[in-house]
Amino acid sequence: MDCSKKHKGFTLRFLEHTADVGIEVIAPDKKSALEAAGCALLNLIIDTSSVENKEKFEINLGPFTDDGDMLFEFLNEIIYLADAKSVVFRSVSVVEVSEIIKAYLEGEQFNPSKHIIKEQVKAATYHQLVFEKIDKGWFARVIFDV
């Protein structure tokens, strides 16, 4: 999922929270909910349209017995990779989701003359964390420490 483009099929809402920022996503399935939450995170950090897909990074996490833990670990892995590798991402692609998650991120090395950081996101938190199946598909809520 190219995070710089608007996508149909899911709903995204940014939440104001004291000293933090949150997102809510409704998507038709678990895979697209994870991708949408990942894109929301990326768009909190940077204007993803300024990022080119020059490098690909793989994420393998799990096994998980709890969907909330899966979402929490997935988003924190994105934050970790961005910080540890000094990269910014444009796209998120979840290729497998069961008790494990396998995904790819694409982006490039952070360049301060090209990329402007919008928000320093430190971590996803468990505060008000929800990731569950609903009538319309899957619902996710995450509050990030900024």
pTM of the entire predicted model: 0.90
pLDDT tens per residue, range 79-116: 999 999 999 999 999 999 999 999 999 999 999 999 99
Single-letter residue type at 75:
L
* Cβ atoms within 10 Å of 121's Cβ, excluding its own: 22
Q: Which domains does the chain have, with CATH numbers?
A: 11-145 (3.55.10.10)
Query: What pLDDT was estimated at residue 18?
Result: 61
Query: What pLDDT was estimated at residue 5?
Result: 65
Among the listed residues 15, 17, 24, the one whose alpha carbon sits nearest the alpha carbon of residue 136: 24
CA torsion angle 38 139 101 92 (round to 10): -20
Tell me the HSE value of 89 on the side-chain side, using a 13 A CA sphere.
31
Q: Which residues of the chain have pLDDT under 50?
A: none
